[in-house]
Amino acid sequence: MSEQEETKTRKSKEKEFSIADLPGVGPATMEKLVVAGYDSLLAISVSSPGELVEVGGFTENAARKIIKSARDMMGIGFESGEDLLRKREQVIKISTGSKAFDSILGGGFESGGISECYGEFGSSKSQIAHQLAVNAQLSKEKGGIGGKAIFIDTESTFRPERIVQMSEALGLDSKEVLKNIKVARAFNSDHQMLLAEKAEDLIKTGEYKLLIVDSLISHFRADFSGRGQLADRQQKLNRHMHVLMKLASTYNLVVYVTNQVMAKPDTFFGDPTAAIGGHIVGHKGKKGSRVAKLVDSPHLMDAEAIFVVTEGGIRDV
């Protein structure tokens, strides 16, 4: 079943049933759910009981029943390996601009999961983010996915001038490319988490196919300093990652996040960033080159690639 057919089937099920058909959901409660963004059976079926308790005022048992009913109506449950293989065929990939880099990624950064790039300052994590935001808008034949991008900026790293350079190097209309990138500056961890949740409103339109968080951890480090606050920090970060994972899986979205570390990703008391799409470790190479090392991918071998960052963007050496 193609992605279009799957979407059509899902929508037909949502027409057959609606939120009003869920047990214990009356007009007033339905309004609360819709206002909070749970405006479809799909949104409810992939939520957690805690989320519905918070927004709808349900008991936990009632929330569990509602979620189960939504999943039953949507036909969500166990799938065969064959079904999952067909779903994997719907994965879309964004080229980095470097054939060597694309090669270790199996063709580029893929949808349906989270890919994390971590490394020291200056290892080109943000450069890759900018390149993906541009390349995502290319056609599939040219290494893109024909979609718009959302950029959650936590460290004031987004530079429209850089987008202009990269766009013009590819012969694109830089003004149109910039129009197709929605940027939001996050000022603390709570704001960052809220922006990720609100991004779903844009993603639901089907136009936005890439979500960037640059960087993932910085605000959590600043807001929760010291070992005494470690448990609270981990809990909030896990919740944030859950939202990103849900978006990636539900909407076949490419999610790219960055993380600055001094030596390894668990330097700061262990960062629970288990990226579904694997980790990219960025290093500075010789003569201005950069080294990308793929680690912890569920289906790709660990490998390295050398690339350079030019005025026009990410390129092969």
Q: Examine the pLDDT at 137 and tell me if it is beyond 90.
A: yes
217 vs 177 pLDDT, higher one:
177
173 vs 298 pLDDT, higher one:
173
Most confident of 23-37, 177-191, 233-247: 177-191
Quote the mean pLDDT of the chain.
Answer: 86
Distance CA 179, CA 170 (A): 16
Q: DSSP states of 267-299 as a string?
A: TTT------TTEEEEEEE-GGGEEEEEEES-SS
Distance CA 270, CA 312 (A): 36
Residue in the structure block whose two tokens are 């063709």: 107
3-class secondary-structure state, position 113: strand
Q: Examine the pLDDT at 95 and tell me if it is beyond 50.
A: yes
**Mean pLDDT value across residues 132-143:** 97
Q: Which domains does the chain have, with CATH numbers?
A: 3-74 (1.10.150.20), 91-316 (3.40.50.300)
3-class secondary-structure state, position 136: coil
Distance CA 286, CA 112 (A): 34
**Which of the residue ranges 31-35, 155-159, 245-249 would you say has the lowest mean pLDDT?**
31-35
How would residue 243 be classed by pLDDT, with cut points 50, 70 and 90?
very high
**Mean pLDDT value across residues 255-284:** 59
Phi-psi region at 143: left, alpha or beta (left = phi > 0; alpha = psi -120 to 50): left
**Mean pLDDT value across residues 238-249:** 91
Most confident of 58-72, 132-146, 235-249, 283-297: 132-146
234 vs 301 pLDDT, higher one:
301
pTM of the model: 0.78
